[in-house]
Chain A
Amino acid sequence: MSSKKVDLITLDIIRDSLLAIGEEMFIAVARTSKSPIIYETLDFASGITDKKGRLLTQGNGACGFLGMLTSLVHSVIEKYTEKGNLKEGDLIICNDPYGGGGSHLQDVGLVLPVFIDGELFGYCVNKCHWSELGGKDPGYAVDSTEIYQEGLQFPCLKLFEEGKINETIVEIIRSNVRLPDMSIGDMWAQISGLRTGQKRLIEICGKYGTRTVDQAIERLIQNSAEFSRSQVGQIPDGIYTASGMMDKDIMGNGPFPIQVKVTIEGDQMYVDFTGSAPQTKSPINVAYDGLVSAIRSVFLACTDSSQNVNDGVFENLHIKAEKGSIFNAIRPAAVSCYYESMQYAQDLIWQAMLPVVEKGKLTAGHFITVGAYSISGTHSVTGETFVDVGPTLGGWGAGFDRDGDSAQFCTGDGETYNIPAEVLEAKFGYRVTEYSLNTTDAGAGEHRGGYGIILGHEALNDDMTFSGTYGRFEYPAWGFEGGKEGAPSGFDFLLKDGTHVPLQGTGSKIQMHKGDVARMVTGTGGGYGNPLARPAEKVAMDVKNEYVSINAAEKIYGVLLEPETFAILGVTDERKKFSEKVS
């Protein structure tokens, strides 16, 4: 056998093993975490990089962390490795949004360098959302004006030095966070995941030799880069633009004009946000590394979303945003709700590229928002303090051949699970009054947008506050090719005295009283195609299923139905005219 050729298959096998390690590291964290935002919503990511800090594989979790693992490792390389100050047994903790983090302080990154026979081989890295990290508010702040209000900062510190834990750092965490057991438990879950990865890397290198593994890594990155170039090469050359408005922030600043110019030049993609609003004195800014994550995700969606993620894939993606803008914020800008502007940035590219990329890769606009909420108080039965933080489900846009999905998390999340009502009630002591689809008549189209949800929380004592930041409260999801725009997202209150406090997009620490209900009400995605083209049988079925009102069937879809049996009685003149025009 010719040894050179067979080596290629060995390299493929090593590649498979590296991917399996990423998966195993991910499972290890999910299964050992103590906080619901990690174990239920999987708001974390883990991966492996080579010694240059190039991401080799990333375990499933939140989409939004794509790219942030790379920058985490790079910050370690700059601060320690390059200065010859990185030792075997060190483990670094970092959450600096402007340097290595990219998101907000609550997403704590840990980096474990892996040494083989005393030589640096690569890094295991993960990043998890800690439910509590101190700062001015439980969970995280939605109305901070500078980063110092948002929690503890770990500017790339050694949590372990040569295998020995720095108890001082642990003590500082313990005394600065509201739920120390949970946060420190999460820290250990992360460490356990990293050590799993370390062990496996050492095994692989022992089996094949570090040089062969290095070769496999080069092949992995180069093949991915090549494939990525071929994918972008299939998109027609040109300049594609989109612009829009971001909702007002919680302080009342804005709305904020935003825009993007995407240039496809051969097999390269250039993204430029120049002209978007400057950073604002509220926490909706995103730092550059966060922006990169969002753009990388939509880049995959536009090319091949199923490929394995490594840094080779993104070599032909170039991102520009002005320093000091809302998409490239600089210290000390507040960033705790960074994900909102990150989602808007991604949505702009989505909108610009939908008409250009192959059909079936993108849908009409989705509800966009993470829908982050924070409910805190004391448990009505046990009297324990609780903080319930998480994202909210909403409606996705329709595709060229399908209705949008209902009740999914936004693109920034991923293998993220909602928390069951039964668990919410037991764990936090409030009552869930309903968990249903928010079936609005918005998002109509030949294919309908999917629906958001209504999730009601009734306070069972006088000690409960609600905070939330919901984007697209003012500017709902966009429709495509005649499809209608979606419905807004936000939250409202049904007070015990019968008052209905109307839908709002943002609010901080709103005091609730026993019997008051806070409801998350999220938006419908955009429609695709003219609603008058939706087959009448489908409209009838929609009405029977109570997705679409009988009124909307007539007014929007032009279909007349018998209200009891939902039999089709006829169509409106408008629909007739439309059909004639099309045929």
Chain B
Amino acid sequence: MRVATDIGGTFTDIVYIDEQGKVCVNKSHTTPPDFEQGVLNVIQKCDISPEEVKDLSHGTTVVINALTERTGAKTGLITTKGFRDILEIGRGNRPDLFNFNFKKPKPFVPRYLRLEVEERMDYQGNELIALKEEDIKTCVDTFKKEGVEAIAIVFLHSYINAEHEKQAKALVEKLMPGIAVTASHEVSKEWREYERTTTAVLNSYVKPSAKTYIDNLYNKLEEMDIKCPKYIMQSNGGTTTFENAKEVPINMVESGPVAGIYGSAMLGEMLGENKVIAFDIGGTTAKCSLVDGGEVKTTTEYKIEKNARFPGYPIRVPVVDIVEIGNGGGSIAWIDNTNSLRVGPKSAGALPGPVAYQKGGTEPTTTDANLIAGRLSPKNFDMDVDMEKVRGAIQEKVGDVYGINTEEAAMGIIRVANSNMLNALKLVSISKGYDPREFALVAFGGGGPMHAAALAKELNIKKVIIPLAASVFSAWGMLMTDLRSDDIQTYRVKLDNPDFDAINAEWEGLEEKACQDNARKGISREDVYFQHYLDMRYIGQDHTVKVKVPNDPMSAENISEFIEAFHREHEQNYSFRLDESGVEIVNIHLASFGRIEKTPIKEAEILPYSLEEAIKEIRPVIFEGDGTLDTKVYDREKMSPGMKLEGPAIIEEVSSSAVIYPGMKASVDKFGDILIETGV
């Protein structure tokens, strides 16, 4: 048996698959601040015998919580002389252009804990000034005096020569045994000192709390006799061991959400769709990501707390490329100061939540609008819903302003929310040069199935897939992952006359190191596989394009393939190519995977209900363009593979429902997923 658990804001989910390939799911409440308790609870809720568990994967919000709640460790920084203010200077940008009372991001390390030492490399990695070890001792004295709990070490140009950082780290560890230390090259080997500094600092900042959490979880699982290998989901779409996660906890910053994206890619593969757009609507946000050729795209341009008006904090580790917007079930509908209807990004969250929850919410949300429109049923909530209150809020806050009735106002909210989500879906597809018509939309999370069909139609997408485990899909995705690690090394080479041997030696070095790392994680050499990427650009450009390249050694014979792959990728993303321009490599990026044995998923059982018997009720539902229609509502739990139905229809399951528009067809596939043909 293989088990995956994922901690969300409200629920901790579990998905497990037995030796026969049967998939089971369950949920239990999340238990802050002792999150590991929720994990144990949900495992105990299931019929799992500990000794049968072959491996366990886990997604956690412990890192992102420590960052956004500022509950990390008291952190000190050691850096190159002349550069301690880099963390405070940042990049000087001000996205809130016309706000002349702008407040820039506050550094995670105050100035008196940012200390400088004598040392210097040049940009080619030559040592200009040797590391003055005396200075490190002085830093450590200050840190001891100030009660510092974690330390980051960042020197200029360590991405190309990390010797001084290694030396300094060894010394710090000797002088302060047991202290959490991060040398920047361990988390990022890309140039740009501010970004590398925040990455190293934030890694150290969360290290102690991540360690405590992982150790607690480990010990409690062991006590339960779950003694199998245990893995943690990382932001790059793969897992790693508990041991490694404690060293580089910053790699877990998007631990949960990316698993759903990865799951979409894997589900696509199972269903013969290697081009999918993953689309996840939760309580406060909608996330989407594009998967082409079965491959989940990663980026190192991730930032926490960034929005249209705030620069956020960069974290330069590979994170699955997700576009996230503030549009979820709890997003609030409001009228802006130019009298236009807006939805989100402000959210009613879990508390007070939508008006429907009756926990004090007074602002109408997308969920409230979906209730009025009949897409959600008050009977399908695990609490009492006061529809009069919901109607009142929508009428007062939106309807009266526009002079329209409650139903029209509710549809207005849904349409504006859809428009926001449509723009996000376009950002990952059309804006990057992809034609959505070639893709299938995989919709999950509580709200995904409700909005997916309308959006797919707008984008001319033919097929929508609503997975069996839609509301616990991140955990499902974790069951599908392999171990993954990424090694990204700034390595600038112009490709007009490169030294092939040097480049190939660099790759070999990275691969060898990856094999050794995997061996330490218990993965033997034959189970390790690689994918090579190059971050490339036209000479003179700054931003690079990540290009998937052949794993073969580069040579005079095949160099043109690499260059052509870049031209194509550039044209795909930016609509032009410059054939006459020189091309250079900026980073080489090795993704290495440690294969985990997986049980094939068994087909879903045929249940003893006919399609007619699966109908729960017929209720009025409003559809854009068609008005109010009497609509059959099906109980997903009574539906079996092979069933087919036509819209208008609703397929309901606990806490979610799929909306099928008139003219669309839906069917249940052999694994129990719902497939919607949009008819476009």
Contact = CB atoms under 8 A, between A and B. Distances in A.
B570 to A, nearest CB: 8
Interface stretch (A9-17, A164-172, A317-325, A481-489): A9-17
Interface string B90-105: 1111111111111110
A230 B423 CA distance: 31
Contact of B193 (A224, A298, A421, A434): A421
A224 B338 CA distance: 6
A297 B95 CA distance: 14
A32 interface: yes
A12 B414 CA distance: 13
A415 B93 CA distance: 5
A307 B337 contact: yes
A248 interface: no
B157 interface: yes
B85 A182 contact: no
Interface stretch (A104-112, A464-472, A540-548): A540-548
A301 B98 contact: yes
B540 interface: yes
B413 to A, nearest CB: 9
Contacts of B574: 28, 31-32, 192
Contact of A16 (B81, B419, B578, B627): B419
Interface string A167-204: 00000000000000110010010001001100000000
B538 A545 contact: no
B100 A5 contact: no
Given A414-B97, A431-B122, A546-B111, A437 B192 contact: no
Contact of B89 (A1, A60, A393, A399): A393
Interface in B68-103: 81-86, 88-103
B403 interface: yes
Contacts of A434: 81-83
Given A196-B575, A407-B90, A12 B541 contact: no
Interface in A188-225: 188, 192, 195-196, 220, 223-224
Interface stretch (A35-43, A67-75, A251-259): A35-43
B576 interface: yes
B339 interface: yes
A547 B627 CA distance: 65
A408 B92 contact: yes
A31 B419 CA distance: 25
A319 B103 CA distance: 29
A1 B94 contact: no
A405 interface: yes
A12 B340 contact: yes
B11 interface: no
Interface in A31-75: 31-36, 39-40, 42, 60, 63, 66
B94 A413 contact: yes
A495 interface: no
B576 A188 contact: yes
A227 B101 contact: no
A20 interface: yes
A419 B412 CA distance: 45
A407 B92 contact: yes
A526 to B, nearest CB: 13
A39 B95 contact: no
A502 interface: no
Contacts of B627: 1
B20 interface: no
Given A24-B431, A27-B431, A422-B156, A63 B97 contact: yes
Contacts of B579: none
A9 B412 contact: yes
A420 B98 CA distance: 25
A195 B97 contact: no
Given A185-B540, A422-B123, A1 B96 contact: no
B97 A435 contact: no
A9 B341 contact: yes
Contact of B88 (A27, A192, A304, A406): A406
Contacts of A406: 88-89
Given A1-B408, A435-B83, A408 B102 contact: yes
Contacts of B382: none
Contact of B100 (A181, A305, A453): A305
Interface stretch (A86-94, A145-153, A280-288, A356-364): A356-364
A453 B83 CA distance: 11
Contacts, number: 217
Contacts of B427: 24
Given A407-B85, A437-B89, A305 B104 contact: no
A421 B83 contact: yes
A525 B97 CA distance: 18
B415 interface: yes
Contacts of B84: 436
Interface string A341-362: 0000000001000000000111
B426 A6 contact: no
Nearest to B401: A8
A423 B191 contact: yes
Nearest to B338: A223
A209 to B, nearest CB: 16
A174 B541 CA distance: 18
Interface string A396-421: 10010010011111010111111011
A1 B402 CA distance: 13
Nearest to B544: A31
Interface in B522-576: 538, 540-543, 573-576
A547 B86 contact: no
Contacts of B298: none
A437 B84 CA distance: 9
A187 to B, nearest CB: 11
B476 interface: no
A299 to B, nearest CB: 9
Contact of B538 (A5, A34, A381): A34
A25 to B, nearest CB: 10
Interface string A278-322: 000000000000000000011011001111110000000000000
B350 to A, nearest CB: 27
A453 B85 CA distance: 9
6 contacts: A1-B411, A188-B578, A308-B338, A409-B94, A422-B123, A422-B159
Interface of B: 81-86, 88-104, 110-112, 122-124, 156-157, 159, 191-195, 309, 337-341, 402-404, 407-408, 411-412, 415-416, 419-420, 423, 426-427, 431, 492, 538, 540-543, 573-576, 578, 581, 627
Interface of A: 1-2, 5-6, 8-10, 12-13, 15-17, 20, 24, 27-28, 30-36, 39-40, 42, 60, 63, 66, 181-182, 185, 188, 192, 195-196, 220, 223-224, 226-227, 297-298, 300-301, 304-309, 350, 360-363, 366, 381, 393, 396, 399, 402, 405-409, 411, 413-418, 420-423, 425-426, 431-437, 453, 456, 544-547
Given A405-B104, A422-B157, A434-B82, 17 more contacts: A2-B408, A9-B402, A13-B415, A20-B423, A20-B426, A27-B431, A28-B575, A63-B98, A188-B576, A227-B338, A300-B98, A306-B96, A393-B92, A408-B92, A409-B92, A425-B122, A436-B82
Nearest 3 A/B pairs, CB to CB: A434-B82, A300-B98, A223-B338
